[in-house]
Amino acid sequence: MLIVGAGHAAGEMATALRMNGYKGPITLIGEEPHLPYQRPPLSKAFLSGDITHERLYVKGPAVYTNAAIDFIPNSRVTAIDKAAKTVTLEDGRTLSYSKLVLATGGRPRQLSLGDERVNKAPNLHYLRTIGHVDNMREQFKPGNKLVIIGGGYIGLEVAAVARKKGIDVTVLEAMDRVLQRVTAPEVSAFYQQVHGEAGVNILVNTALTGFEFDAEGKVTTVLTANGHKIPADVIIVGIGLIPNVELAEQAGLALENGIAVDEYGQTSDPDILAIGDCSSHPNAYAGRRLRLESVPSALEQARSAAALLVGQKKPYNAVPWFWSDQYDLKLQMVGLNQGYDTVALRGSPANRNFLAFYLKDGVVLAVDSISRPQEFMVAKKLVAERVKADPMVLVDESQPLKALVP
Ligand code: FAD
């Protein structure tokens, strides 16, 4: 069993296989130097310096050793030969497989401004790996001026950590509000207000047009379409993810916004599976193919694929959910809100804890919970069961949500 990639999905896959009684050899091949680690803290507690590398690891080294899982770090797989059932590593080695699992995740979308200096600037960073955070640490310090490109989760989480550290923060967002792709205007407005109160300068409707550099190639100034010239010591870019599908593409596997798999993680080749951020699956809840970028889905997809490989059929059919931590606020989101016609707020943004219900024809499609973890658990059930609810009941805090669960 060869698992390409050693991220969240791969680590779970390897250990789940052993738990399911798989007896054959298992090898994890990762291009990073690390055992599988949690990426969410990279823009939260690890960036702030509150936790160390060791705390990021999903499982300690002994777990893999005891489970006889081989780990080959610092090794990039460069090709798959489906007919010979082998993969080639960057150093020329060839490894054979009976089953291959692609858990290659994704890489940050890079700025493409037609200026070669941009992605070489030593103070312009992306955020996906421990290495990325290590590279930015020196510049991520009190008094420095940070410009964040992109008002999505990662950008806003970084902004929150930076403000707590006394860093001067500006966020550039090309759309008319932050978190535009994922939340309702009410929730975006709440987060803009919270960040504004914390001293973050959020510029919406503001497209990045370029940078000014010093003689060493460092960015000194960020330029926008509205004519802003923002001085910067450090720039962090969070504008999305590109799934790592090149290996699969080269091997001729079917792609569809990611490596196309079925509900068990099976690709178009019977001996190759794909899981996690690199894969797109037919999502029963959404009624269409989805590629999700979240820890819960990476874990659950890994468990379903691990079950398949020991002859059990456990389809991945969880309702998508996600979380984001900013300041003292815990945002948890469940479902997909596309196509909603009504938003109902339970509780008040002024109190810094509330729920936003997204409804279509009265059916609860999705819920955002801001620091209401207990009600979020109930909300997950309402979404999973596609409960039809009266918005007047949802907003009435004297009526328990639990009563709506069938
Ligand atoms: P990855 O974790 O990306 O792992 C893939 C691994 O494969 C990488 O190590 C990569 O180097 C390696 N690889 C790729 N190609 C090759 C190759 N050819 N050969 C060898 N190795 C290869 N999710 C949440 O649910 N909640 C959050 O709050 C949250 N916050 C996040 C914050 C940040 C800063 C980031 C970056 C992500 C966050 N996520 C969050 C997303 C979550 O981390 C991902 O969904 C999850 O890591 C996906 O796991 P994966 O195993 O599919 O991919």
Residue-wise pLDDT tens digits, 179-196: 999 999 999 999 999 999
**pLDDT tens digits, residue range 388-400?**
999 999 999 999 9
Based on the domain organization, do 209 and 121 belong to the same domain? yes
> How far is residue 284's CA from residue 152's CA, in Å, rounded to a whole number?
26
Based on the domain organization, do 207 and 277 belong to the same domain? no
> How far is residue 385's CA from residue 365's CA, in Å, rounded to a whole number?
10
Based on the domain organization, do 101 and 149 belong to the same domain? no
**pLDDT tens digits, residue range 253-273?**
999 999 999 999 999 999 999
CATH number of the domain encompassing residue 296: 3.50.50.60
Residue that terminates a domain, selected from 239, 268, 288 = 239
The number of domains in the chain is 3
**pLDDT tens digits, residue range 95-116?**
999 999 999 999 999 999 999 9
> Could you tell me how far CA 60 lies from the centroid of its own chain?
22
Amino acid in position 385: E
> Could you identify the atom of ligand 1 that is nearest to the CA of residue 322?
25
pLDDT for residue 30: 98
Q: 72: CA distance to ligand 1 center in Å?
A: 17
Based on the domain organization, do 86 and 114 belong to the same domain? no
Phi and psi at residue 216, to the nearest 5°: -85, 0
pLDDT for residue 187: 98
Cβ proximity of 71 and 208 under 8 Å: no
Q: Report the relative pairing of strands 234-237 and 145-149 from DSSP bridges.
A: parallel
> Could you identify the atom of ligand 1 that is nearest to the CA of residue 78?
18
Q: 400: CA distance to ligand 1 center in Å?
A: 37
Cβ proximity of 194 and 79 under 8 Å: no
Based on the domain organization, do 15 and 30 belong to the same domain? yes
Based on the domain organization, do 100 and 249 belong to the same domain? yes
294 lines ligand 1 (CB under 6 A): yes
Cβ proximity of 261 and 308 under 8 Å: no
pLDDT for residue 386: 96
Instruction: Taking residues 301-305, report their average pLDDT.
Output: 98
Based on the domain organization, do 399 and 366 belong to the same domain? yes
> How far is residue 229's CA from residue 34's CA, in Å, rounded to a whole number?
39
Which pTM was predicted?
Answer: 0.96
In a domain, 396, yes or no: yes
In a domain, 253, yes or no: yes
In a domain, 318, yes or no: no
> Can you tell me which residue has the tokens 């370029």?
210
Element housing 306 (H / E)? helix 295-308
The dihedral through the CA atoms of 313, 319, 320, 324 has a sign that is negative
- Of all protein residues, the one whose alpha carbon is nearest to atom 43 of ligand 1 is 39
Q: Which domain covers residue 77, as residue numbers?
A: 2-107+242-310
Cβ proximity of 146 and 167 under 8 Å: yes
Give the mutation target among 135, 156, 277, 376 for probing the ligand 1 site: most ligand atoms within 8 A of CB. 277
Element housing 70 (H / E)? strand 69-72
Residue whose C-alpha is closest to residue 120's, from 47, 42, 213, 31: 213
Confidence class for position 330, pLDDT limits 50, 70, 90: very high
> Could you identify the atom of ligand 1 that is nearest to the CA of residue 325?
28
Q: 10: CA distance to ligand 1 center in Å?
A: 10
Quote the Cα angle for 262-263-268, to 5°.
15
> Could you identify the atom of ligand 1 that is nearest to the CA of residue 29?
20
Confidence class for position 52, pLDDT limits 50, 70, 90: very high
Based on the domain organization, do 211 and 234 belong to the same domain? yes
Q: 7: CA distance to ligand 1 center in Å?
A: 6
Name the β-bridge partners of 148: 171, 236
Phi and psi at residue 175, to the nearest 5°: -80, 180
Q: 397: CA distance to ligand 1 center in Å?
A: 38
43 lines ligand 1 (CB under 6 A): yes
Instruction: Taking residues 223-236, report their average pLDDT.
Output: 97
Residue that terminates a domain, selected from 239, 260, 282 = 239
How many other CB atoms are found less than 10 A from the CB of residue 379? 30
Based on the domain organization, do 162 and 210 belong to the same domain? yes
Based on the domain organization, do 250 and 261 belong to the same domain? yes
- Per the prediction, the chain carries an average pLDDT of 97
Confidence class for position 161, pLDDT limits 50, 70, 90: very high
> How far is residue 360's CA from residue 228's CA, in Å, rounded to a whole number?
40
Q: 30: CA distance to ligand 1 center in Å?
A: 12
Q: 91: CA distance to ligand 1 center in Å?
A: 23
Residue that terminates a domain, selected from 251, 284, 310 = 310
Based on the domain organization, do 127 and 199 belong to the same domain? yes
Cβ proximity of 370 and 354 under 8 Å: yes
In a domain, 32, yes or no: yes
In a domain, 371, yes or no: yes
Based on the domain organization, do 169 and 276 belong to the same domain? no
299 lines ligand 1 (CB under 6 A): no
Confidence class for position 240, pLDDT limits 50, 70, 90: very high
Instruction: Taking residues 321-350, report their average pLDDT.
Output: 96
pLDDT for residue 194: 98
In a domain, 19, yes or no: yes
Give the mutation target among 39, 148, 321 for probing the ligand 1 site: most ligand atoms within 8 A of CB. 39
Give the mutation target among 294, 324, 368 for probing the ligand 1 site: most ligand atoms within 8 A of CB. 294
pLDDT for residue 318: 87
Q: 42: CA distance to ligand 1 center in Å?
A: 11
In a domain, 391, yes or no: yes
How many Å is the maximal CA-CA distance in the chain?
Answer: 66
Cβ proximity of 362 and 372 under 8 Å: no
CATH number of the domain encompassing residue 371: 3.30.390.30
345 lines ligand 1 (CB under 6 A): no
279 lines ligand 1 (CB under 6 A): no
In a domain, 321, yes or no: no
Q: 141: CA distance to ligand 1 center in Å?
A: 26
Q: Check whether 141 has a pLDDT greater than 90.
A: yes
